[in-house]
Chain A
């Protein structure tokens, strides 16, 4: 019943503005893939293309091997959950959920049974006769979910479904969505701008920017091994230090950064290191020490902030301002000289950014 989604070389325009460029995306049966990015990155456009509310300029969309590209929206059989719920205000909760069944010619006993079972599953059986106007945000979202699930679609799509809910409810609802999706094994596309939400709910996440997918991978890989500088910044690598190799000695590589600081990096951690690269790490990946004899980046410490698990310092270095964390046991003062020592396990090597 559940099917794989295959998007191949899609290009799309709004008027003359290109909003998607040669985008390809394959989603396996039963997989939940999030499209993550800032507004205007093309994630919602992708969803609307798959739903059939927009036509691509070129490229194909296939669901379970069947070409959908030119099929009208109402023939696509895709469950959609909208940001604003899009519940029919003139229909009761039960009629909203039964709407899709009615279109499929299912009525009477059969329809009532399926609607009842679905409302039971989302915990709203007692509200079946209410109008949507009388429901809370969370309840509305559950109705929307039930309405999309009851037609047993081979593909479910979510368009920022939780962005109108408060923080606590958001966390509860995403667990609920994930559980329902797992239980049904429905292939799903989940559009969001919330990184934590995407990472917590998805099998894989596509990070999008300017109409392209910058990286598509599991949350673990994205978080630890971003493929490029854009994704690295997006997932919170505060320090991106451009470097050039000056010497290679077996498993050790010596590289230099702006300001003439040299670091020795071991190939066992980083694999191959190109002649020109970016050393990327979070503040956690740069350890602050007042032992200036250690090998590291010489720095003058600036503002110190307390993070609970560590102190974070604004550090003035030859390579510019870097963020680094130091132990709670030894708070250091503004103006102190220190060394920033990269922690190899928490650093990664990226290709240099193209000149803008």
Chain B
């Protein structure tokens, strides 16, 4: 009876996910193996194309760089936020939550204004005499990375601030009472305890960057095509749905592999979960 009622309550959500997510996504992946040219033809053609290999490699590169920069900025900032007095902490958290709740289009658009040929950065540099003619900043890998970092730093700050706050003050005081200087406390107590949080943050940023669409589309354009923009182009511009499905399958596999690998590492590193 109870078993029945548990399933009854969970079934509408379960059905929605199974029917409209699991099955369609599996179907998308399945079709890539069912082409007339053989089961792996679409993959050999994907990896056989120099252009597509470049796109995949560029996407990995952009995601990795974005992840590393976001980790460093996010961790330092989160550390300061977690040590800030109450009122200041609230303000800083609001300042981090607000961009997070602002859409990706708006946030990418902001960088379009800043980095454009007649954008603020160029006009500032020109008026300072640092450059003599407007520099091309849009549609470069740098532009995409800056905007992606901008996208993910708030998420990183909030994730890591939560992790750092959950480290009991007692431990930091115990460390000091045993003679550890602040830097030693940071390196030997705070950092090791934050590693699982850093891994979670890294997974969020890497998978988010790897599958991003709007930001690379706006700031990278055709010149900096990544997996997301390539997939959209195949699906909606050239209507090559088999090719789009192949890209989708590769994105799913890489995303899930990263998540599984990192959560496994995080679990191994998390001593609290003994």
Contact = CB atoms under 8 A, between A and B. Distances in A.
B177 A99 contact: no
Contacts of B274: 131, 133-134
A87 B181 CA distance: 18
B103 interface: no
Interface stretch (B13-21, B165-173, B200-208, B246-254): B165-173
The 8 closest A-B pairs by CB, nearest first: A100-B178, A133-B274, A86-B170, A103-B179, A86-B174, A73-B176, A80-B177, A74-B176
Contacts of B168: 84, 86
Please classify how large the interface on chain B is, using the bins under 10, 10 to 19, 20 to 34, 35 or more.
Answer: 20 to 34
A40 interface: no
A48 to B, nearest CB: 8
Interface in A128-156: 131, 133-134, 147-148, 151
A334 to B, nearest CB: 53
Contacts of A72: 176
Contacts of B171: 86, 88
Contacts of B271: 89-90, 131, 133
A66 B171 CA distance: 27
B177 A76 contact: yes
B131 to A, nearest CB: 48
B272 A133 contact: yes
A270 interface: no
Given A82-B170, A90-B193, A103 B184 contact: yes
Contacts of B177: 51-52, 73-74, 76, 78-80, 148
Interface string A165-195: 0000000000000000000000000000000
A330 interface: no
B83 to A, nearest CB: 14
**Most chain B CB neighbours (cut-off 10 Å) among A76, A79, A90, A104:** A90
Interface string B228-266: 000000000000000000000000000000000000000
Given A89-B272, A133-B271, A133-B274, A104 B179 contact: yes
Contacts, number: 73
B170 A99 contact: no
Given A74-B181, A90-B193, 10 more contacts: A73-B176, A74-B178, A79-B177, A80-B177, A82-B170, A86-B173, A99-B175, A99-B188, A131-B274, A148-B177
A53 interface: yes
Contacts of A337: none
B39 interface: no
Contact of B193 (A52, A74, A82, A89): A89
A190 to B, nearest CB: 16
Contacts of A51: 173, 177
A228 interface: no
A151 to B, nearest CB: 6
28 contacts: A51-B173, A52-B176, A52-B177, A74-B175, A74-B177, A74-B179, A74-B181, A74-B182, A80-B174, A82-B173, A84-B168, A84-B170, A86-B168, A86-B170, A86-B171, A86-B174, A87-B174, A88-B174, A88-B175, A89-B193, A89-B271, A90-B192, A90-B271, A99-B175, A99-B178, A103-B180, A133-B271, A133-B272
A79 B178 CA distance: 7
B173 A73 contact: yes
A77 interface: yes
A133 B185 CA distance: 20
**Most chain A CB neighbours (cut-off 10 Å) among B177, B184, B192:** B177
A74 B173 CA distance: 9
B93 interface: no
A87 B178 CA distance: 12
Contacts of A134: 274
B173 A103 contact: no
A95 to B, nearest CB: 10
B170 A100 contact: no
A86 B173 CA distance: 9
A99 B171 CA distance: 12
A320 B248 CA distance: 86
A77 B179 contact: yes
**Most chain A CB neighbours (cut-off 10 Å) among B173, B174, B182, B188:** B174
Interface in B136-175: 168, 170-171, 173-175
